[in-house]
Amino acid sequence: MLMQYYPHPQHDYSYELNKDMNFSAAHFIPDEQAGKCAHMHGHTYVVNITIAGDTLDDTGFLVNFQKLKELVHKRYDHRILNDLEEFSGMNFPTTEVIAQVIWQRIENYLKTVPNQPSCLQILVRETPTSYVLYRPKKDENHG
CB count in 10 Å sphere of residue 43:
19
- Which region among 32-40, 73-81, 83-91, 102-110 touches Zn ion (by CB under 5 A)? 32-40
Residues involved in catalysis:
37, 78, 126
Site track for ligand LPXRUNBV across 16-55, x = CB under 6 A: -------------x-------x------------------
Q: Which of residues 50-109 bind ligand LPXRUNBV (CB under 6 A)?
A: 94-96
Beta-strand runs (E) in the chain: 15-27, 41-53, 79-80, 118-127, 130-134
Bridge-based pairing of strands 15-27 and 41-53 is antiparallel
Q: Which is nearer to ligand LPXRUNBV, 58 or 90 (CB)?
A: 90
Q: Using the CB atoms, write b or e for 93-106: b if 16+ within 10 Å.
A: bbbebbbbbbbbbb
CA dihedral 55, 62, 105, 8 (to 10 degrees): 90
Residue of 58, 129, 138, 139 that binds ligand LPXRUNBV (CB under 6 A) = 129
Query: Where do contacts with Zn ion occur on this chain (CB under 5 A)?
Result: 37
**Interface residues toward ligand LPXRUNBV, by CB under 6 A:** 29, 37, 94-96, 126-127, 129-130
